[in-house]
Amino acid sequence: MIKPHGSDALNPLYVADEAKRAELQKEAEGLPKLMVCSQAAANAVMMASGYFNPLTGFMNLADSLAVAENMKTTGGLFWPVPIVNVVEDASAIGDAKRIALLDPNVEGNPVLAIQDVESIEEATDEQMTAMAQKVYGTTDPEHPGVKAFLSVGKCFVAGPIQVLNYSYFAADFPETFRTAVEIREMIAKNGWEKVVAFQTRNPMHRAHEALVKIAMERTGADGAVIHMLLGKLKAGDIPADVRDAAIRKMVELYFEPNTCEITGYGYDMLYAGPREAVLHAVFRQNMGTTHLIVGRDHAGVGDYYGAFDAQTIFDNDVPEGAMELQIFKADHTAFSKVVGDVIMMCEAPDGHKPEEFVFLSGTKVRAMLSAGEDLPPEFARPEVAKILMEYYQSLPQE
Protein backbone atom coordinates (compact mmCIF):
# COMPACT_ATOMS: atom_id res chain seq x y z
CA MET A 1 0.00 0.00 0.00
CA ILE A 2 1.11 3.58 -0.64
CA LYS A 3 3.11 5.08 2.21
CA PRO A 4 1.71 7.93 4.31
CA HIS A 5 3.01 11.43 3.70
CA GLY A 6 6.19 12.22 5.57
CA SER A 7 6.62 8.95 7.49
CA ASP A 8 6.60 5.18 7.18
CA ALA A 9 3.50 4.74 9.33
CA LEU A 10 0.51 6.84 10.30
CA ASN A 11 0.66 8.74 13.55
CA PRO A 12 -2.98 9.50 14.43
CA LEU A 13 -3.21 11.84 17.42
CA TYR A 14 -6.40 10.36 18.86
CA VAL A 15 -5.74 8.74 22.23
CA ALA A 16 -7.13 5.27 21.53
CA ASP A 17 -6.28 3.73 24.90
CA GLU A 18 -9.37 4.11 27.07
CA ALA A 19 -7.51 4.26 30.38
CA LYS A 20 -5.11 6.88 29.08
CA ARG A 21 -7.99 8.88 27.59
CA ALA A 22 -9.87 8.82 30.91
CA GLU A 23 -6.72 9.94 32.68
CA LEU A 24 -6.29 12.86 30.29
CA GLN A 25 -9.96 13.78 30.60
CA LYS A 26 -9.53 14.00 34.37
CA GLU A 27 -6.36 16.04 33.97
CA ALA A 28 -8.22 18.44 31.67
CA GLU A 29 -10.56 19.39 34.52
CA GLY A 30 -7.72 21.20 36.24
CA LEU A 31 -6.13 22.78 33.18
CA PRO A 32 -6.65 26.29 31.79
CA LYS A 33 -9.36 26.17 29.12
CA LEU A 34 -9.19 27.66 25.65
CA MET A 35 -12.18 27.83 23.33
CA VAL A 36 -10.89 27.19 19.81
CA CYS A 37 -12.49 28.27 16.55
CA SER A 38 -14.32 25.81 14.30
CA GLN A 39 -11.37 25.51 11.89
CA ALA A 40 -8.92 24.72 14.70
CA ALA A 41 -11.33 22.08 16.03
CA ALA A 42 -11.50 20.56 12.56
CA ASN A 43 -7.71 20.63 12.33
CA ALA A 44 -7.57 18.68 15.60
CA VAL A 45 -10.03 16.09 14.26
CA MET A 46 -7.96 15.70 11.08
CA MET A 47 -4.80 15.16 13.13
CA ALA A 48 -6.67 12.75 15.41
CA SER A 49 -7.76 10.77 12.36
CA GLY A 50 -4.28 10.48 10.84
CA TYR A 51 -5.21 12.59 7.83
CA PHE A 52 -2.66 15.27 8.69
CA ASN A 53 0.23 12.87 9.21
CA PRO A 54 3.04 13.50 10.15
CA LEU A 55 2.01 16.66 12.04
CA THR A 56 2.06 16.32 15.82
CA GLY A 57 0.16 19.49 16.63
CA PHE A 58 -0.48 23.10 15.73
CA MET A 59 2.16 25.07 13.82
CA ASN A 60 3.95 28.09 15.26
CA LEU A 61 4.10 31.43 13.47
CA ALA A 62 7.39 30.74 11.71
CA ASP A 63 6.15 27.44 10.28
CA SER A 64 2.83 29.02 9.32
CA LEU A 65 4.59 31.80 7.42
CA ALA A 66 6.97 29.34 5.75
CA VAL A 67 4.15 27.01 4.69
CA ALA A 68 2.13 29.92 3.32
CA GLU A 69 5.14 31.27 1.44
CA ASN A 70 6.62 28.13 -0.10
CA MET A 71 4.61 25.08 1.09
CA LYS A 72 7.37 23.87 3.42
CA THR A 73 7.79 24.08 7.17
CA THR A 74 10.99 25.55 8.58
CA GLY A 75 12.11 21.93 9.03
CA GLY A 76 11.58 21.15 5.34
CA LEU A 77 8.32 19.14 5.50
CA PHE A 78 6.19 19.67 2.41
CA TRP A 79 2.81 21.03 3.51
CA PRO A 80 0.40 23.26 1.56
CA VAL A 81 -1.54 25.28 4.17
CA PRO A 82 -0.88 26.36 7.77
CA ILE A 83 -2.47 24.09 10.36
CA VAL A 84 -3.01 26.42 13.27
CA ASN A 85 -4.80 27.20 16.50
CA VAL A 86 -5.40 30.93 16.27
CA VAL A 87 -7.39 32.86 18.86
CA GLU A 88 -8.31 36.47 19.57
CA ASP A 89 -7.09 36.46 23.15
CA ALA A 90 -4.76 33.95 24.78
CA SER A 91 -4.44 35.74 28.12
CA ALA A 92 -6.46 33.04 29.93
CA ILE A 93 -3.63 30.61 29.27
CA GLY A 94 -1.09 32.68 31.18
CA ASP A 95 2.20 30.81 31.36
CA ALA A 96 0.58 27.36 31.44
CA LYS A 97 2.45 24.61 29.63
CA ARG A 98 -0.61 22.39 29.15
CA ILE A 99 -4.12 23.51 28.29
CA ALA A 100 -7.50 21.97 27.47
CA LEU A 101 -9.01 22.89 24.12
CA LEU A 102 -12.79 23.27 24.13
CA ASP A 103 -14.96 22.27 21.18
CA PRO A 104 -17.07 25.17 19.82
CA ASN A 105 -19.26 22.85 17.73
CA VAL A 106 -20.66 20.53 20.41
CA GLU A 107 -23.24 21.53 23.00
CA GLY A 108 -21.65 22.18 26.36
CA ASN A 109 -18.24 22.77 24.74
CA PRO A 110 -16.55 19.56 25.95
CA VAL A 111 -12.78 19.13 25.95
CA LEU A 112 -11.64 18.15 22.47
CA ALA A 113 -7.90 17.87 23.09
CA ILE A 114 -5.06 18.64 25.43
CA GLN A 115 -2.27 20.78 24.02
CA ASP A 116 1.29 21.28 25.21
CA VAL A 117 1.97 24.98 24.77
CA GLU A 118 5.33 25.50 23.11
CA SER A 119 4.73 29.11 22.11
CA ILE A 120 2.15 31.87 21.95
CA GLU A 121 2.93 34.44 19.29
CA GLU A 122 0.92 37.33 17.91
CA ALA A 123 1.11 37.85 14.17
CA THR A 124 1.08 41.33 12.70
CA ASP A 125 -1.70 42.49 10.41
CA GLU A 126 0.82 42.39 7.58
CA GLN A 127 1.73 38.76 8.32
CA MET A 128 -1.92 37.71 8.46
CA THR A 129 -2.64 39.45 5.16
CA ALA A 130 0.45 37.92 3.53
CA MET A 131 -0.60 34.41 4.62
CA ALA A 132 -4.14 34.93 3.35
CA GLN A 133 -2.83 36.14 0.00
CA LYS A 134 -0.55 33.13 -0.43
CA VAL A 135 -3.01 30.47 0.73
CA TYR A 136 -6.22 31.85 -0.78
CA GLY A 137 -4.78 33.88 -3.65
CA THR A 138 -6.76 36.90 -2.45
CA THR A 139 -7.35 39.10 0.57
CA ASP A 140 -10.93 39.90 -0.41
CA PRO A 141 -12.97 39.82 2.83
CA GLU A 142 -15.94 38.46 0.85
CA HIS A 143 -14.02 35.24 0.16
CA PRO A 144 -15.42 32.79 2.78
CA GLY A 145 -12.02 31.27 3.56
CA VAL A 146 -10.29 34.63 3.90
CA LYS A 147 -13.14 35.90 6.05
CA ALA A 148 -12.82 32.92 8.39
CA PHE A 149 -9.01 33.12 8.54
CA LEU A 150 -8.84 36.83 9.29
CA SER A 151 -11.74 36.97 11.75
CA VAL A 152 -10.64 34.59 14.52
CA GLY A 153 -7.64 36.47 15.87
CA LYS A 154 -3.88 36.75 15.50
CA CYS A 155 -2.54 34.76 18.49
CA PHE A 156 -0.91 31.53 17.34
CA VAL A 157 -0.97 28.89 20.09
CA ALA A 158 1.51 26.23 18.97
CA GLY A 159 2.43 22.79 20.22
CA PRO A 160 1.61 19.07 20.12
CA ILE A 161 -1.86 17.80 20.94
CA GLN A 162 -3.54 14.67 22.26
CA VAL A 163 -7.09 14.39 20.96
CA LEU A 164 -9.83 12.89 23.13
CA ASN A 165 -12.70 12.61 20.62
CA TYR A 166 -13.74 13.27 17.04
CA SER A 167 -16.02 16.20 17.84
CA TYR A 168 -19.55 15.75 16.40
CA PHE A 169 -18.49 13.88 13.28
CA ALA A 170 -18.43 10.32 14.60
CA ALA A 171 -21.74 10.76 16.46
CA ASP A 172 -23.63 12.59 13.70
CA PHE A 173 -22.32 10.50 10.78
CA PRO A 174 -21.65 7.02 12.20
CA GLU A 175 -22.11 5.28 8.83
CA THR A 176 -19.88 7.69 6.93
CA PHE A 177 -17.19 9.27 9.10
CA ARG A 178 -13.97 7.27 8.87
CA THR A 179 -10.44 7.97 9.98
CA ALA A 180 -7.45 7.60 7.68
CA VAL A 181 -6.52 4.51 9.70
CA GLU A 182 -9.93 2.93 9.07
CA ILE A 183 -9.84 3.69 5.35
CA ARG A 184 -6.43 2.07 5.03
CA GLU A 185 -7.82 -1.00 6.79
CA MET A 186 -10.83 -0.99 4.46
CA ILE A 187 -8.62 -0.77 1.35
CA ALA A 188 -6.47 -3.64 2.60
CA LYS A 189 -9.54 -5.75 3.40
CA ASN A 190 -10.88 -5.16 -0.12
CA GLY A 191 -7.56 -6.22 -1.60
CA TRP A 192 -7.30 -3.00 -3.60
CA GLU A 193 -3.89 -1.82 -4.80
CA LYS A 194 -4.72 1.15 -7.04
CA VAL A 195 -7.45 3.30 -5.52
CA VAL A 196 -9.03 6.51 -6.81
CA ALA A 197 -10.28 9.14 -4.36
CA PHE A 198 -13.12 11.48 -5.27
CA GLN A 199 -13.56 14.65 -3.23
CA THR A 200 -17.04 16.08 -2.91
CA ARG A 201 -18.94 18.65 -0.93
CA ASN A 202 -22.02 18.30 -3.15
CA PRO A 203 -24.40 15.54 -4.22
CA MET A 204 -23.17 13.55 -7.21
CA HIS A 205 -24.97 13.86 -10.49
CA ARG A 206 -24.37 11.71 -13.56
CA ALA A 207 -21.34 13.78 -14.58
CA HIS A 208 -19.63 13.03 -11.26
CA GLU A 209 -20.58 9.37 -11.43
CA ALA A 210 -19.10 9.09 -14.93
CA LEU A 211 -15.95 10.93 -13.89
CA VAL A 212 -15.25 8.41 -11.11
CA LYS A 213 -15.78 5.53 -13.53
CA ILE A 214 -13.57 7.16 -16.20
CA ALA A 215 -10.79 7.73 -13.67
CA MET A 216 -11.00 4.14 -12.43
CA GLU A 217 -10.81 2.77 -15.96
CA ARG A 218 -7.91 4.93 -17.09
CA THR A 219 -5.80 4.46 -13.97
CA GLY A 220 -6.53 0.75 -13.78
CA ALA A 221 -7.88 1.20 -10.28
CA ASP A 222 -9.35 -1.68 -8.30
CA GLY A 223 -11.75 0.59 -6.47
CA ALA A 224 -12.83 4.11 -5.63
CA VAL A 225 -13.34 5.93 -2.35
CA ILE A 226 -15.92 8.68 -2.46
CA HIS A 227 -14.72 10.91 0.34
CA MET A 228 -17.17 13.62 1.31
CA LEU A 229 -16.57 16.61 3.49
CA LEU A 230 -18.73 16.51 6.62
CA GLY A 231 -17.79 19.83 8.21
CA LYS A 232 -18.93 23.41 7.86
CA LEU A 233 -19.72 24.75 4.40
CA LYS A 234 -20.92 28.09 3.12
CA ALA A 235 -24.55 29.17 3.24
CA GLY A 236 -26.67 27.47 0.60
CA ASP A 237 -24.65 24.27 0.35
CA ILE A 238 -26.59 21.03 0.78
CA PRO A 239 -26.31 19.48 4.29
CA ALA A 240 -24.08 16.45 4.71
CA ASP A 241 -26.87 14.03 5.62
CA VAL A 242 -28.75 14.80 2.39
CA ARG A 243 -25.59 14.48 0.29
CA ASP A 244 -24.79 11.22 2.03
CA ALA A 245 -28.21 9.70 1.27
CA ALA A 246 -28.07 10.80 -2.38
CA ILE A 247 -24.56 9.44 -2.95
CA ARG A 248 -25.35 6.13 -1.26
CA LYS A 249 -28.37 5.63 -3.49
CA MET A 250 -26.30 6.37 -6.61
CA VAL A 251 -23.55 3.91 -5.66
CA GLU A 252 -26.07 1.24 -4.66
CA LEU A 253 -27.82 1.35 -8.02
CA TYR A 254 -25.18 2.39 -10.53
CA PHE A 255 -21.78 1.04 -9.46
CA GLU A 256 -20.61 -2.55 -9.71
CA PRO A 257 -20.64 -4.27 -6.31
CA ASN A 258 -17.44 -4.01 -4.25
CA THR A 259 -15.90 -1.30 -6.43
CA CYS A 260 -16.81 1.84 -4.49
CA GLU A 261 -16.75 2.82 -0.83
CA ILE A 262 -18.53 5.86 0.64
CA THR A 263 -16.75 7.63 3.46
CA GLY A 264 -16.43 11.09 4.95
CA TYR A 265 -14.01 13.22 6.90
CA GLY A 266 -14.42 15.89 9.55
CA TYR A 267 -13.14 19.20 8.25
CA ASP A 268 -14.34 22.70 7.48
CA MET A 269 -14.11 23.73 3.84
CA LEU A 270 -11.40 26.33 3.20
CA TYR A 271 -12.43 27.21 -0.38
CA ALA A 272 -8.71 27.75 -1.02
CA GLY A 273 -8.75 26.41 -4.57
CA PRO A 274 -5.27 25.23 -5.68
CA ARG A 275 -3.73 25.14 -2.20
CA GLU A 276 -6.66 23.17 -0.84
CA ALA A 277 -6.40 20.75 -3.77
CA VAL A 278 -2.83 19.99 -2.67
CA LEU A 279 -4.00 19.51 0.92
CA HIS A 280 -6.65 17.12 -0.40
CA ALA A 281 -3.92 15.15 -2.16
CA VAL A 282 -1.77 14.95 0.96
CA PHE A 283 -4.47 13.55 3.18
CA ARG A 284 -5.76 11.19 0.48
CA GLN A 285 -2.27 9.69 0.36
CA ASN A 286 -2.41 9.36 4.14
CA MET A 287 -5.65 7.39 3.89
CA GLY A 288 -4.09 5.00 1.37
CA THR A 289 -5.47 6.04 -2.02
CA THR A 290 -3.05 6.19 -4.93
CA HIS A 291 -4.90 8.70 -7.13
CA LEU A 292 -7.03 11.82 -6.55
CA ILE A 293 -9.40 13.20 -9.15
CA VAL A 294 -8.78 16.93 -9.55
CA GLY A 295 -11.35 18.54 -11.77
CA ARG A 296 -12.46 21.93 -12.89
CA ASP A 297 -12.44 24.57 -10.12
CA HIS A 298 -11.51 21.99 -7.48
CA ALA A 299 -12.14 23.42 -3.97
CA GLY A 300 -12.89 26.82 -5.46
CA VAL A 301 -15.55 29.40 -4.83
CA GLY A 302 -16.89 32.21 -6.98
CA ASP A 303 -14.48 33.47 -9.63
CA TYR A 304 -11.37 33.62 -7.47
CA TYR A 305 -9.48 30.88 -9.32
CA GLY A 306 -8.93 29.84 -12.89
CA ALA A 307 -10.84 26.74 -14.00
CA PHE A 308 -7.74 24.52 -13.91
CA ASP A 309 -5.48 26.30 -11.41
CA ALA A 310 -5.96 23.37 -9.02
CA GLN A 311 -4.34 21.11 -11.63
CA THR A 312 -1.48 23.36 -12.72
CA ILE A 313 -0.31 23.90 -9.14
CA PHE A 314 0.79 20.25 -9.14
CA ASP A 315 2.86 20.86 -12.27
CA ASN A 316 4.31 24.24 -11.31
CA ASP A 317 4.58 24.42 -7.53
CA VAL A 318 4.63 20.92 -6.03
CA PRO A 319 8.25 19.70 -5.96
CA GLU A 320 8.98 16.41 -7.68
CA GLY A 321 8.88 13.58 -5.16
CA ALA A 322 6.97 15.62 -2.57
CA MET A 323 4.08 13.15 -2.73
CA GLU A 324 3.63 9.59 -3.95
CA LEU A 325 -0.06 10.02 -4.78
CA GLN A 326 -0.81 10.86 -8.42
CA ILE A 327 -3.38 13.30 -9.78
CA PHE A 328 -6.01 12.33 -12.33
CA LYS A 329 -6.67 15.54 -14.22
CA ALA A 330 -10.29 15.83 -15.25
CA ASP A 331 -12.17 18.25 -17.43
CA HIS A 332 -15.76 19.26 -16.88
CA THR A 333 -18.08 16.35 -17.65
CA ALA A 334 -21.59 16.44 -19.08
CA PHE A 335 -24.02 14.35 -21.11
CA SER A 336 -23.42 14.71 -24.84
CA LYS A 337 -26.48 14.45 -27.08
CA VAL A 338 -24.10 13.63 -29.95
CA VAL A 339 -22.27 10.77 -28.20
CA GLY A 340 -25.26 9.65 -26.15
CA ASP A 341 -23.28 9.39 -22.93
CA VAL A 342 -21.49 11.47 -20.33
CA ILE A 343 -18.03 12.53 -21.53
CA MET A 344 -15.30 14.95 -20.56
CA MET A 345 -15.89 18.08 -22.61
CA CYS A 346 -12.28 18.26 -23.80
CA GLU A 347 -12.82 14.90 -25.50
CA ALA A 348 -15.93 15.88 -27.43
CA PRO A 349 -15.79 14.99 -31.15
CA ASP A 350 -14.92 17.72 -33.64
CA GLY A 351 -17.81 19.98 -34.40
CA HIS A 352 -19.54 19.35 -31.07
CA LYS A 353 -21.47 22.46 -30.08
CA PRO A 354 -21.91 23.69 -26.48
CA GLU A 355 -25.70 23.49 -26.76
CA GLU A 356 -25.39 19.77 -27.54
CA PHE A 357 -24.38 19.12 -23.91
CA VAL A 358 -27.01 18.74 -21.18
CA PHE A 359 -25.81 21.16 -18.57
CA LEU A 360 -27.72 22.89 -15.76
CA SER A 361 -26.46 25.61 -13.45
CA GLY A 362 -26.70 25.07 -9.72
CA THR A 363 -29.28 27.87 -9.57
CA LYS A 364 -31.41 26.16 -12.23
CA VAL A 365 -31.16 22.79 -10.46
CA ARG A 366 -32.26 24.29 -7.14
CA ALA A 367 -35.15 26.11 -8.80
CA MET A 368 -36.39 22.98 -10.57
CA LEU A 369 -36.16 20.79 -7.48
CA SER A 370 -37.84 23.41 -5.29
CA ALA A 371 -40.69 23.56 -7.80
CA GLY A 372 -41.05 19.77 -7.86
CA GLU A 373 -39.81 19.53 -11.46
CA ASP A 374 -37.94 16.41 -12.54
CA LEU A 375 -34.33 16.92 -13.58
CA PRO A 376 -33.38 15.59 -17.03
CA PRO A 377 -32.35 11.91 -16.75
CA GLU A 378 -29.20 12.80 -18.72
CA PHE A 379 -28.22 15.12 -15.87
CA ALA A 380 -29.24 13.27 -12.72
CA ARG A 381 -30.27 9.75 -11.79
CA PRO A 382 -33.99 9.88 -10.92
CA GLU A 383 -33.49 8.16 -7.57
CA VAL A 384 -30.89 10.79 -6.61
CA ALA A 385 -33.06 13.65 -7.86
CA LYS A 386 -35.96 12.38 -5.72
CA ILE A 387 -33.88 12.62 -2.53
CA LEU A 388 -32.73 16.13 -3.42
CA MET A 389 -36.25 17.23 -4.38
CA GLU A 390 -37.60 16.14 -1.01
CA TYR A 391 -34.91 18.21 0.69
CA TYR A 392 -35.51 21.36 -1.34
CA GLN A 393 -39.26 21.12 -0.98
CA SER A 394 -38.85 20.91 2.78
CA LEU A 395 -37.19 24.32 2.85
CA PRO A 396 -39.20 27.51 3.47
CA GLN A 397 -40.24 28.84 0.09
CA GLU A 398 -39.25 32.40 -0.71
Q: How far apart are CA 373 and CA 386, in angstroms?
A: 10
Give the residue among 113, 61, 51 at the shortest CA–CA distance from 86.
61
Q: How far apart are CA 316 and CA 146, in angstroms?
A: 24
3-state percent helix, strand, coil for the chain, nearest multiple of 5: 35, 20, 45
User: Positive or negative, the Cα torsion across 168, 231, 259, 251?
Assistant: positive
Count other C-beta atoms under 10 Å from residue 170's C-beta: 17
Active site residue 202: yes
Q: In what order do the strands lie in the sheet with 195-200?
A: 260-265, 223-229, 195-200, 291-294, 326-329
**What's phi and psi for 238, nearest 5 deg?**
-75, 135
Q: Which of 11, 202, 248, 366 is catalytic?
A: 202
**What's phi and psi for 37, nearest 5 deg?**
-80, 170
Active site residue 21: no
Q: Which of 21, 98, 201, 248 is catalytic?
A: 201
Q: How far apart are CA 322 and CA 184, in angstroms?
A: 21
Give the residue among 331, 332, 225 at the shortest CA–CA distance from 284.
225
The amino acid present at 302, given as its one-letter code, is: G
Q: How many angstroms separate the Cα of 268 from the Cα of each of 45, 148, 187, 281? A: 10, 10, 25, 16
Residues labelled as active-site residues: 201-202
